[in-house]
Amino acid sequence: MSEKQSTTGFVRAATRSINRAEIVDQNFIRFVQEWDQSPPGKLSNRDFIRAGVALTAKDFKELFESQMLSRHQDIEARAMRARNEGFYTIGSSGHEGNAAVGRVTRHTDIAFLHYRSGAFMQERARKLGIDMVYDTALSLAASSEDPISGGRHKVWGSVPLWVPPQTSTIASHLPKAVGTAVAIGQAKRIGVKLPIPDDSIVACSFGDASANHSTAVGAINAAQWTAFQKLPCPILLVCEDNDIGISVKSPAGWIAANYSDRAGLEYIAADGTDVLDTYAKTLEAVDYCRRRRSPVFLHLKLVRLLGHAGTDAETEYRASVELETTEARDPLLVSARIALEYGIYAPADLLNAYEDARRRVQAAAKKAALCPKLTTAEQVMAPLAPYHPDKVNAEALRSPSKQARISTFGSEEALPEKQPPRHLSIQINRALFDLMAKYPQMTVFGEDVAQKGGVYTVTSGLYKTFKGQRVFNTLLDEQTILGMAQGAASMGLLPFPEIQYLAYFHNACDQIRGEAASLQFFSKAQYQNGMVVRIAALGYQKGFGGHFHNDNSFTALRDIPGIVVACPSRGDDAAMMLRTCAALAKVDGRVVVFLEPIALYMTKDLHEPKDNGWLFDYPASERGVPLGEGRIYNPNAKDLLIITFGNGVPMSLRVAKKLETQTGKKIRVLDLRWLKPLNAGLIAKHAKECGKVLVVDEGRRTGGISEEIFTAIDEHTGPGVVKKRVTGKDSYIPLAAAANLVLVSEEEIYSIAKGMV
């Protein structure tokens, strides 16, 4: 081979052009045209190419075709953007070696992929005869006929190929990938039938820059933490290392130095530009992962071609000589050299194959550009928050069998409805027992929830009754907890993760905002990960306070499309609402957040010490509270309506009684119970009947739910309703008695309410 034909010494002739896509394209054509070596012989389709690599010439040709199709889709994506027919130009060029990973893994090995996975998808699609060229063109064109997202985003995804869609993820998909790997073994242990074969593994790809993200660091640590304890975690972590993150270079050798010698993590490296080496090393990695049910870190050294995206001007931060050196390592040039050197293709035949791939991609793009788009907000939002109220309510009211309940609680006499009235934490605990009896696939997990029974003993006894396969402690990482919930749901479980405090949720908000809650939206509701996230929340906790344990703001949750936020203020409501929450997750795959007011966990009294006014009977197991249904106190009162939730409910009831005693005025109190979606019709009905409304919102004044309640009244009742609000201050909550200075007080509620009546 002459120097100009060596893939490491190949130098482009045209230096004036700044279109790197055109340069890379012409590099390949010229390399093949100028090939002047005669192969030692022509391999038959059944011949193996390289010693030690179980890949035939036929296999190689298919891999090479996937690489070429992926490359042409990158080039065509830019042409589509120039014609205003396509809307995404982050490509896979330089990463085409991941076609080998697509070939070696099964189509039932669930894959969580980053955005440079075009060749992987082309190769995996081959297993089921899916036309990924056209599907990708539909996605690039944002067509409503795109089979995975329906035009909502350019994603790699497929239901039959077990590729849940990811958007432009920067490591945020790793926690749920690890969670899925853990759930495969867990589902088997508790007798839940998996939707994939029992020996399946999880494949998860990410870049070298993303490997530095705290989400990736936490997820990989969680995989190691699991494997270190000899628990199954069959995940193939594919780090596609191209040495750069947009414009920031990775330190030379960093990934290998960081990940090659870690407890509980097998490390295997491959030359990702050489599809034969990648194939051989991937075979080794997948075999290890599948047999040992243990995590493997597959480190593929690759290059990034054509920049980060179509708008990325690489020449601003990379010298021309560096770009040319990188382009000389093009994996398609390496594959071309193998094909020509071993006589798998003659030069003319290879050029024909390359141009055939181009024509196929261009034809698909032309066809996709003419396909329909999303044209209404209703179409866009259709899969966001599926809700079938009749089915959900029927499921919520479906009681566990009597025998299952007796077995769970120990005897018929021990059934919770036969016990005296109890406070909130006990009733939540009893409801969890009931739900665990009802749903064999339900799991409860989080920090301290098992033997300890949670910081506030809300999960006390669950571990002893249902054992560690269904009730278990996790490591201290909220991202991992919520990632495990997503993984569990994807494998057919019904997860009830616990986040210890509302303030801790903010450490991992994107696992709900960007991942769990978006899955149905970006998959046309073809994928679901229904869950009920329990969070000890809100303010007024005494003796153990401060910002992290008295977080009164749930504004971040209210902003997340599609989720349900529930907040009971009393024990019987909590039990019935939990039944509906479980039904929402099971029937419609909804992501539900259940806020439990810490200060009301142990509250027994309402008006006077030892009056037991806030203790309630456990509701029969066939009772529930439909989504959006509030609780009305003093329904015939019309002098003032107080709208509130959580801690505001008992405070408002005390104020109502005091004012009635003093003034004779009767006050109606509406406990919202469901904070998202907000029942605007319910609010408007009672606001109109009373004419005066006081909103008691313990959240902050800015961004609190009182703003939405005011808007609902204005939009649904018109002018005439007098409105005022009492809110927390725009402040973090300090320690001890100073907390009362920034939280809503009964005195403040009383003062404003008295002025209104």
How high does pLDDT run on average in the chain?
A: 93
Q: Tokens 């401060």 label which residue? A: 546
618 in any annotated domain: no
384 in any annotated domain: no
Same-domain status, 424 and 522: yes
**What pLDDT was estimated at residue 313?**
82
**What pLDDT was estimated at residue 613?**
96
Question: What percentage of the chain reaches a pLDDT higher than 70?
Answer: 97
Same-domain status, 113 and 34: yes
Same-domain status, 365 and 394: no
CATH number for position 636? 3.40.50.920
Task: Please compute the mean of the pLDDT values over residues 598-612 and round it to a whole number.
Answer: 96
**What pLDDT was estimated at residue 312?**
80
> Any idea how long the chain is?
757
- Tell me the pLDDT band of 549, cut-offs 50, 70 and 90: confident
623 in any annotated domain: no
pTM exceeds cut of 0.85: yes
Reply yes or no on whether the pLDDT at 9 is more than 80.
Answer: no
Domain with 247 in it: 3-375
pLDDT digits over 404-437, tens only? 999 999 999 999 999 999 999 999 999 999 999 9
3-state secondary structure of 82: helix
One-letter identity of residue 44: S
- Residues in CB range of 110: below 8 A, 6 or more apart: 162, 163, 164, 180, 196, 200, 202, 203, 490
One-character DSSP codes across 525-563: TSS---EEEEEEEBS---SS-STTT-B---HHHHTSTT-
Same-domain status, 734 and 636: yes
* C-alpha distances out from residue 12 to 22, 75, 389, Å: 11, 18, 64
**What pLDDT was estimated at residue 1?**
40
Alpha-carbon distance of 66 to 123, in angstroms, equals 6
Same-domain status, 18 and 152: yes
| Neighbour tally for 523: CB within 10 Å | 23
338 in any annotated domain: yes
Alpha-carbon distance of 475 to 539, in angstroms, equals 26
Alpha-carbon distance of 608 to 552, in angstroms, equals 25
Tell me which of 577, 600, 623 is where a domain ends.
600
CB 111 within 8 A of CB 203: yes
Same-domain status, 317 and 414: no
* CA 404 to chain CA mean position, Å: 33
76 in any annotated domain: yes
Same-domain status, 367 and 394: no
Continuous segment of H or E residues that includes residue 389: helix 389-397
Same-domain status, 191 and 244: yes
620 in any annotated domain: no
Same-domain status, 226 and 80: yes
Same-domain status, 333 and 269: yes
Same-domain status, 310 and 400: no
Q: How many domains are there within the chain?
A: 3
The pairing of beta strand 266-271 with beta strand 248-249: unpaired
- Helices then strands, each counted (H, E), the chain: 27, 21
**What pLDDT was estimated at residue 650?**
98
Per the structure block, which two tokens stand in for 467? 């054992």
CATH number for position 195? 3.40.50.970
Same-domain status, 436 and 573: yes
Q: Tokens 């011949």 label which residue? A: 47
Alpha-carbon distance of 331 to 336, in angstroms, equals 8
One-letter identity of residue 251: P
* C-alpha distances out from residue 344 to 57, 338, 593, 602, Å: 6, 8, 57, 75
- Tell me the pLDDT band of 309, cut-offs 50, 70 and 90: confident
Q: Tokens 């993303």 label which residue? A: 210
Task: Please compute the mean of the pLDDT values over residues 576-592 and round it to a whole number.
Answer: 98
Reply yes or no on whether the pLDDT at 710 is more than 80.
Answer: yes
544 in any annotated domain: yes
- Tell me the pLDDT band of 17, cut-offs 50, 70 and 90: very low
67-81, 253-267, 549-563, 614-628, range with the lowest pLDDT: 549-563
Reply yes or no on whether the pLDDT at 625 is more than 70.
Answer: yes
**What pLDDT was estimated at residue 274?**
96
Q: What angle do CA 20, 5, 303 make, to 5 degrees?
A: 40
**What pLDDT was estimated at residue 75?**
96
Question: What percentage of the chain reaches a pLDDT higher than 90?
Answer: 84
65 in any annotated domain: yes
